[in-house]
Structures are given as structure tokens and as C-alpha cells.
Amino acid sequence: MEKTVAALVGMNIGRWLLLKMLYIVISLIMNNLFLYMQKIEPLGKMLKQLHILLKK
């Protein structure tokens, strides 16, 4: 019985650590995507303005 409880506790800690690492990885990816999108957005606006000027 004690081995079963210890195994369950060990599994729960392992799952918790896995979820925590997954959360950290996802957070890093989202932060990098956010920074990338902030840099791309002004470029898109600039291209849109250029397109409007070329249409005239």
C-alpha cells in the first residue's frame, strides 16, 4: 500500500513538473510571437500607406 501511495505521489509531482515546464515553454513562445508581431505591424502599415500612394 505504501509503495502505491508513493508511486501516485511521484506521478502527481512528475505531472505537475511536466505541466509547469509546458507552461513555461508556451509562455516563452507567446512572448516571442508578441514581440515579433509588434515589429511586423508597423511594416504592414507602412506597406499599406505605400500602396495607397502608388494608387494615386
At 37 the pLDDT is 78
Q: If you write DSSP's letter for every residue of the chain in order, what string do you get?
A: -HHHHHHHHHHHHHHHHHHHHHHHHHHHHHHHHHHHHHHHHHHHHHHHHHHHHHH-
User: How many separate domains does the chain show?
Assistant: 1
Q: Which of 4, 6, 28 is nearest to 20 (CA)?
A: 28
At 13 the pLDDT is 79
At 7 the pLDDT is 67
Does residue 51 surpass a pLDDT of 90? Answer: no
At 54 the pLDDT is 85
pLDDT tens per residue, range 2-26: 666 666 666 777 788 888 899 999 9
The whole-chain average pLDDT of the chain stands at 80
Provide the residue range defining the domain that includes 12. Answer: 1-55
Average pLDDT of the segment spanning 42-53: 83
